[in-house]
Amino acid sequence: MNGRRPELGRLESAALAVVAASSEPLTVSQVQAQLPADPAYTTVMSTLTRLARKGALRQIRDGRAYRYELAAPAASIDDALTARQMRRLLGDGGDRAAVLARFVAELGEDEERLLTELLERTHRPDRGGPP
């Protein structure tokens, strides 16, 4: 159903999320270290190679190995048509939720206070997590 490009597998999408979250290009072992369930080094390497072949990642030669980063540089939406399409989708009506899922929507005042309290509470009993 996805045209020429096959859908991403579970490991592929996780690896892509890890690389996208990093502010600098990552080596295979750095990606491996951040993936859950300890996949084998060679598995991670072939996953990253596949993502590069699909055009999702770019390989940067670093000595004898590769580092990986997101293929597309930050896109600019200065281009008038893209900006207009974007504004139309995000802006009109209450129906956008049907098409796009936002990470977090606008916060109400109550919610902001609740979240601040929640952060303070989880931080007191040492770093990293609830009691």
User: Rule CB under 8 A: which residues touch another protein?
Assistant: 1-3, 5, 7-8, 10, 13-14, 16-18, 20-23, 34-36, 51, 54-57, 70-72, 74-78, 81-83, 85-91, 95-108, 111-112, 114-116, 118-119, 122-123, 128-130
Query: How many C-alpha atoms does 128 have within 13 Å on its Cβ side?
Result: 0
Whether the Cβ atoms of residue 32 and residue 39 lie closer than 8 Å to each other: yes
- Indicate left, alpha or beta for 43 from its phi (over 0: left) and psi (-120 to 50: alpha): alpha
State in angstroms the smallest separation of the CB of 64 from another protein: 25
Of 63 and 122, which has the nearer Cβ to another protein? Answer: 122
Could you tell me the two tokens for 11? Answer: 């490991």
Residue position matching structure tokens 């040492």: 126
Of 63 and 108, which has the nearer Cβ to another protein? Answer: 108
Query: How many C-alpha atoms does 101 have within 13 Å on its Cβ side?
Result: 1
State in angstroms the smallest separation of the CB of 105 from another protein: 4
Of 64 and 127, which has the nearer Cβ to another protein? Answer: 127
Whether the Cβ atoms of residue 106 and residue 113 lie closer than 8 Å to each other: no
Could you tell me the two tokens for 52? Answer: 């590069």
Of 64 and 76, which has the nearer Cβ to another protein? Answer: 76
